[in-house]
Structure 1
Amino acid sequence: MHAPSQNREFLGVGWRFPLQVTPNGRIAQARHEQRIEEAIVIILSTAPGERPMLPEFGCGIHNTLFAPNDSRTIALVVHQVRQALTRYEARIDVLDVHAENNLDAPNLLLIRINYRVRETNAIGNLVYPFYIREGR
């Protein structure tokens, strides 16, 4: 039997996101935990209905694009992020999601996500910037 931390192939290997080319002309690849982080960004960056073959895939935060940057919108964003990651990223347990606005950038929400990789118990975190343009 092998230790889970030594065999991380289940975490995946694939093209980097966004697409990049290495100096030797090959497509750059993401591996293991980096692949999970990129998957989280893809989930949060995709609005439901954007992918014709997977119309439900994505995160509902894009529905708040013209919402006021207030506590009610923040609570909705946190809920939608947690829901999307729980549904579409089975390799992690979402530990905490919170969002905060910044007085210096009133159209910006910083979404902080803490998660644990299920197979290795490795803790990861990500800050995702989400821009809200208030509809006034």
Structure 2
Amino acid sequence: MTIHSQLKSPIGWPLLAGPDASGQWRWPGLERSVSDGLRALLSTRPRELMMHADYGAGLQDFLHEPNTLAVRARILERIQTAVARYEQRVQLDRVEVSEDERDAAAVRIEVHYRLRRTGEPQRLALALSLGG
């Protein structure tokens, strides 16, 4: 699967604290926790997790699809449905799925949301290579 995040650090697994450069344990803040959770949700296929068969958006299902308006609409719908169902910490403002200007076989995904606890607007940007 080729989903690229514009964040500097990859998802850590498990989604828990880890020691920093000085050896201190730091727990991720709310923003990081939600962002990591969203990236995990989008990259997980339904039926991939035991006992959570419906969890995930399954963006890998689109890897061999053509980069068309219809496919981008299906990606958008899949993201909206998964986030609404499984990420209760956010209020989804909008999802944008557009053709990547630098790569005709890729799409840019931007998820704009607000943290329910603080109301702070956040944005998660991903690139998904389709290749169809």
Structure 1 partner of 2:109: 111
Structure 2 partner of 1:85: 83
Listed one character per residue, the Cα deviations across residues 82-114 of structure 1 (whole Å, up to 9, x for unaligned) are 110011100111110011112431221110111
Give yes or no for contact 2:90–2:116 (8 Å, CA) kept in 1: yes
- What runs of 5+ residues in structure 1 fail to find an aligned partner? 1-15
Q: Distance in 2 between matches of 1:120 and 1:90?
A: 13
Scaled by the length of structure 1, what TM-score is found?
0.77
Q: How far has the Cα of 1:27 moved from its partner?
A: 6.2
5 Å-filtered alignment, 1:1-136, equals 17-19=11-13, 21-25=19-23, 29-134=27-132
Scaled by the length of structure 2, what TM-score is found?
0.80
Question: Which ranges of 4 or more aligned residues in structure 1 deviate by more than 4 Å?
Answer: 24-28
Q: Distance in 2 between matches of 1:72 and 1:54?
A: 28
In structure 2, the residue corresponding to 1:112 is in which secondary structure? strand
Q: Distance in 1 between matches of 2:40 and 2:23?
A: 24
Q: Distance in 1 between matches of 2:25 and 2:93?
A: 33
Aligned residues: 119
Structure 2 partner of 1:4: none
Structure 1 partner of 2:6: none
| Partner amino acid, structure 1, of 2:46 | P
* Greater Cα radius of gyration, structure 1 or 2: 1
| Identical amino acids, percent of aligned pairs | 22
Q: Distance in 2 between matches of 1:78 and 1:115?
A: 14
More contact order relative to length (CA 8 Å, sep ≥ 6) = 2
Q: How far has the Cα of 1:17 moved from its partner?
A: 2.6
